[in-house]
Amino acid sequence: MKLRKTLSAIALLLSASGAYAQDYVGGLNIDTANLVWSSNNSYSSGQVVREGSSGDLYLAKVGINASDSNLSPSDDSRWVLLLKGDVHSGDTIKIPESGKVIFVTSQEYSGYDVYGRDKADEFCQTAADSSVNVPSGVYTAWNISNAASPIATSKAYYLLDGTQVVNQGSDLKLYSSILHPINLDESLSQVNASVWTEEDTGWTCYAGPGQSFPSFVGNSSSANVYWSAYGGSYQCTSKARLYCAQK
């Protein structure tokens, strides 16, 4: 969950939390665009992040490259706890009652993993059900190759932190821009990765091992057309994530 805090309030809390970071000497860096920790991001010494599942704030004691083997700040000695999360229902940004949720999966799947649409939907449902951040409901793998894709075409879609992605589900289509990248996974971590958006009819890998097949992948960090149509032909052994939309 994302706390509804102003920058000044965060700065005040951080200044009062020195007891948690007594082994760090240096300045603090708060980058609001990268406040939620992600293993895909690089961080500078002194940078503050929020761990998605707990809401705890951590400070980087050293520079951390995205290419490193990055563990969650709670399990990585290069981070020091700065402020314990204390999330109250009144502090959370809620999805409007009339809105729907969309997120990108934290896991990658090969073309064989998503050999059928039911299987892709199963991965999305499992990701949603396993996270306390995702509202209860039925979730489907967003994919425009199936004309009967049962998303709510007239409803606005939001990320799990309340950021609006589109005004209505019908705006989620290939070669069309969206309001904001779909870059938060079910644990509220920011993601910059390839995402399956359209495969051959019925989500099948019929060409055989190692063969390419008609497909599209999008990029989760893009809001222009690349969010859904970033690449061309992918192989069945290629791996990418899924966009999971609430029905």
Average pLDDT over residues 190-202: 76
Report which of residues 173 and 143 the model is more confident about: 173
**Boundary of a domain, candidates 41, 58, 89:** 89
Report the mean per-residue pLDDT for the chain: 76
User: Does 140 have pLDDT greater than 80?
Assistant: yes
- 203-230 pLDDT, tens digit each: 556 455 555 555 678 899 999 999 988 8
Same domain? 143 vs 228: yes
Q: Is there a domain that residue 95 lies in?
A: no
Same-domain pairing of 151 and 79: no
- Are 190 and 212 in the same domain? yes
- The answer to whether residues 111 and 79 belong to one domain is no
Residue 94 falls inside a structural domain? no
Residue with the two structure tokens 């563990």:
71
Determine the pLDDT at residue 9: 46
Within a domain: 68: yes
Residue 1, domain member (yes or no): no
Reported as a single tens digit per residue, the pLDDT across 147-192 is 445 788 889 999 998 888 999 999 998 888 999 999 999 988 889 9
Rg (CA), the chain: 19
User: Which among 89, 116, 141 is the end of a domain?
Assistant: 89
Q: Per-residue confidence at 19, pLDDT binned at 50, 70, 90?
A: very low
Count of the separate structural domains present in the chain: 2
Instruction: Note the pLDDT of residue 200.
Output: 52
Q: Mean pLDDT across the stretch 73-98?
A: 72
Identify whether 2 is part of a domain.
no
Whether 133 and 221 map to the same domain: the answer is yes
The verdict on 78 and 198 lying in the same domain is no
**Do 41 and 69 lie in a common domain?**
yes
Q: Are 235 and 212 in contact (CB under 8 A)?
A: yes
Sign, Cα dihedral of 153, 155, 156, 160: negative
Do 81 and 159 lie in a common domain?
A: no
* pLDDT at 106 (0 to 100): 95
Where does a domain end: 89, 117, 142? 89
Whether residues 151 and 67 share a domain: the answer is no
Looking at the chain, the whole-number percentage of residues with pLDDT higher than 90 is: 26
Residues 110 and 207 occupy one common structural domain: yes
Q: What is the mean pLDDT of residues 77-100?
A: 73
Task: Answer whether residue 35 shows pLDDT above 70.
Answer: yes
Report pLDDT for 74: 76
Q: What is the CATH number of the domain that holds 220?
A: 3.10.100.10
Q: What residues make up the domain containing 21?
A: 7-89
214 and 168 fall within a common domain: yes
CATH number at residue 31: 2.10.10
Same domain, 170 and 201: yes
pTM over 0.85: no
Residues 6+ apart with CB under 8 A from 86: 55
Q: Which sign, positive or negative, has the C-alpha torsion 30, 34, 37, 40?
A: negative
